[in-house]
Chains A and B, each alone.
Chain A
Amino acid sequence: MNLIDPHIHCVSRTTDDYQFMARCGVVAVSEPAFWAGFDRSSASSFADYFHHLTDVEPARAARFGIDHYSWLCINAKEAEDVALARQVIRLIPPLLDHPRVLGIGEIGLNKNTPNEIAIFEEQVDLAARHDQLILIHTPHLADKHKGTAIICDILKNDRRIVPQRVLIDHCEEHTIRMARDGGFWCGLTIYPVTKVTPQRGVDMLEQFGPEKICVNSASDWGESGPHMLIDTLLEYRRRGHGESDVTNVFYNNPCRFFGQCPKWKLEIRNSNDGAPAEFCRGPQSNSKFE
């Protein structure tokens, strides 16, 4: 069984986590740029961070047979400092051709402030001008519903944005419908204290269907871990879903979304025998889910 964790912050994780993921069959990860647990003091810190994401971490992951891809942006929390955010945004375009960069992310909102919204709109514009995939961070807890509504509204009103090239992450019971109604991909983040438990994640997979849903751990410096992806897989299997369904959710769906970027090299797999079934070409794929 091969798996993909489509959202994980490896810079905050230990080597033991890489070993654990490799033992569990994780063959690829994608790592969005995020708030590292503290506000950085200058744009040069972000230049170093982007080097870490695009060069250091892929080499570290490769030691365990894990293919590592990344996303670049200024995160919503630090976007509150608009001057710093604009300096960081200027660092991004020259890096978009890097073979490990899949797009712009995770952009979005944190406390739904006017500054965050302004920088979000500027990064949506950046993605549109450079024809990039977009990975969206939706706010935490009490701010999630309002923030997700604002984000979906901005994206839907920008005619350059193709919804199936956008993944709205950290969806929960009260926001997943907004993302799906807009035609976007949805991310379910299995992070029990502030987001979703394995059981609730599987509830949403069953209620809404697995099409255009990616399950991730978003493991970072908080109470989280790559085992959350595995626990969710086990819960899904425990409820009677077969290996074909498991492969579709935990491997093929990330391939379908990421495969819209030609840099993504992993192939969609035939669910029954694990053999490559077709090259992943995103919207052109003839998958039954698309």
Chain B
Amino acid sequence: MPEAKNTIDNALLEMRWRCLSLAADLDRLDRAQAAKSDPGLLKLHEALRVLLDARANRAERVQMIFSDQTPPPPYGKAGKR
């Protein structure tokens, strides 16, 4: 695993532009008067809150916010072999 200082040095500039890029995306949506209640945007806001909390596995938790978590359809023909 890389050391913390190297990781920060290598990542910060790229994280900065990604953060700016997302900020500009949100500004653009505002200018377009995108509906604040859009389900996709609500999930995005939920995901952004994950980025700022102090718990681990942020990527996995963000993935789950954007995942369909309804029950699967019935299946299992092969499962009975």
Contacts and interface: CB of A to CB of B under 8 A. Distances in A.
B37 to A, nearest CB: 19
A194 to B, nearest CB: 11
Interface residues of A, number: 31
A121 B77 contact: yes
Q: How big is chain B's contact interface, by range?
A: 20 to 34
Contacts of B74: 114
Interface string A101-123: 00000000000111001100100
B60 A173 contact: yes
Among the interface residues A124, A144, A172, A174, which one has the most CB atoms of the partner chain B within 10 A?
A: A174
- Chain B interface SS verdict (over half): loop
Nearest to B58: A173
A117 B64 contact: no
A114 B74 CA distance: 7
Given A124-B78, A150-B75, A145 B59 contact: no
Contact of B68 (A125, A142, A172, A173): A142
B67 A240 contact: no
B68 A158 contact: no
Interface in B54-81: 57, 59-60, 63-64, 66-70, 72-81
27 contacts: A112-B72, A113-B73, A117-B73, A118-B77, A125-B78, A141-B66, A144-B63, A145-B63, A145-B64, A146-B67, A146-B72, A150-B72, A153-B79, A154-B75, A154-B76, A157-B79, A157-B80, A157-B81, A158-B78, A173-B59, A173-B63, A174-B64, A200-B59, A203-B59, A206-B1, A239-B2, A240-B2
A238 B7 CA distance: 11
B33 interface: no
A290 B50 CA distance: 37
Contacts of B60: 173-174
Contacts of A146: 67-70, 72
A121 B72 contact: no
Interface string A135-151: 00000011111100110
B59 A114 contact: no
A23 interface: no
A114 B73 contact: yes
Contacts of A144: 63, 67
